[in-house]
Amino acid sequence: MDPRPNPPPFRGRERTLGVAWIAAILALATFAQPAAADPLTLRYGQAFSAARSIFALPVAIADREGFFARAGLDLKILIPVPGGADRQIDALHNDSVDLTHVATPFLIRAALNGSDAVALAAEFNNPIYTLIAKPEIRSYADLKGKLIGLADEAGTITISMRKLLAMHGVNRGEFAVRTIEGTSGRFGCLRRGDCDAVVLGQPQDLQAVQQGFRALGASTEAVPELLYTVTAVRRSFAQANKEAMARYVRGLAAAFRFIRDGANRERVVKTIVATAGASEEIARETLALFFEPERGVLPRQGEIDLKALAQVITLLGEAGALKSPLPPSEQFVDLQYLRAAGLQ
């Protein structure tokens, strides 16, 4: 007689099934994370003026917090692209970069001149640019006959500032203009005393007020809804590198969700301090400006608002930078990668 107790029924089958389940789970884990095992490399270009401002935040967070890496992407951030913001699309064509940060007017202009560059994802929607003046300038009327530092004449920054000035009775021809690339450059002009007023983004506008300069008004008073900056790519390159594009938009989307989560506020503050050269106090003020209350400055997850892009096209038409009939916003985007990721 066998002295061993009878084994429970199906014990051998359970063991076999257990081994099979473990094997299946390991296989699923392997296939669920092909990106991590096989990272792809992309070169992302920024102008120096953008890299040292709040407008670098989404990509900086995605990079510093590891969201691109988790998506299986090795993103090489190249700073600066020579020539400034108006040369970003050229960098795509001369193979200096694969993706680039660019303001939508420059993208539109390039596309209408034959470039196959398109917007891949949104980076900033409604920028808050502030008109900052010397302390002795107490009103818009005091700007008449003075020198104002603006950006590119055919860009949304200058167009919105001219509309803001006109709303307050200061019209074209009633002040002198100096075109200066980048917020940092314009802030330098104000501090040296060469400019009587300038248009500044964050964090420099908040720093200027802290230093005693006067804030007269914001661009959002004149132009509340537009699509400001995007990640651009050549349509041909994106088509040939679909998986890399998918990984990029997934990593960027994770960054936007991270920024918007209040539990991550201090980590976002530290990134602003490190990348934009702001104090922690100014970094917190910047985030409060964006989110307390919600002002729609950032997209939710990189989605492209076609109506907001149409607003840019309309503004360019009103400023004489585009001729009628105005092109449709769909001409300047490729939404297939956002849609494939469930982000659009």
* DSSP tag of 294: B
Mean predicted confidence (pLDDT) in 35-63:
88
Are 155 and 86 contacting, i.e. CB atoms less than 8 angstroms apart?
no
Which residues lie below 8 Å from residue 71, measured CB to CB, with a gap of 6+?
Answer: 35, 247, 248, 250, 251, 254
pLDDT tens digits for range 201-233 = 999 999 999 999 999 999 999 998 899 999 999
Domains 37-126+226-340 and 130-221 share a fold: yes
Rounded Cα–Cα distance for residues 315 and 22 (Å):
59
Residues in CB range of 178: below 8 A, 6 or more apart: 147, 148, 149, 150, 189, 194, 195
Residue 83 has a pLDDT of: 64
pLDDT of residue 48: 83
Task: Please say if the pLDDT value at position 189 is more than 70.
Answer: yes
- What pLDDT is recorded for position 10? 32
Percent of the chain with pLDDT over 70: 88
- Average pLDDT in the 8-31 region? 37
The domain locations on the chain are 37-126+226-340, 130-221
- Band the pLDDT of 159: cuts 50, 70, 90: very high
pLDDT band at 30 (very low <50, low <70, confident <90, very high): very low
What's the pLDDT at 17? 35
The yes or no reply on domain 130-221 and CATH 3.40.50.1000 is no
Query: Is 171 exposed, middle or buried (CB count within 10 Å of its CB: 0-12, 13-18, 19+)?
Result: exposed
pLDDT tens, residue by residue, 84-142: 666 899 999 999 999 999 999 999 999 999 999 999 999 999 999 999 999 999 999 99
* pLDDT tens, position by position, 277-328: 999 999 999 999 999 999 999 999 999 999 999 999 999 999 999 999 999 9
Nearest to 102 by CA among 327, 321, 312, 339: 312
Comparing C-alpha atoms, which of 96, 99, 28, 72 is closest to residue 247?
72
The fold adopted by the segment(s) 37-126+226-340 is D-Maltodextrin-Binding Protein; domain 2 (3.40.190)
pLDDT at 84: 65
pLDDT digits (tens, 9 = 90+) for 225-254: 899 999 999 999 999 999 999 999 999 999
Selected residue with higher pLDDT from 311 and 26:
311
Lowest mean pLDDT across 16-25, 31-40, 133-142, 248-257: 16-25
* pLDDT value of residue 33: 42
pLDDT band, residue 177 (cuts 50/70/90): very high
Phi-psi bin for 212: left (phi > 0), alpha (psi -120 to 50), beta?
A: left
3-class SS of residue 297: coil
Whether residue 22 is predicted with pLDDT greater than 50 in this model: the reply is no
Average pLDDT, the chain: 89
Q: Which whole number is the average pLDDT over 57-82?
A: 93
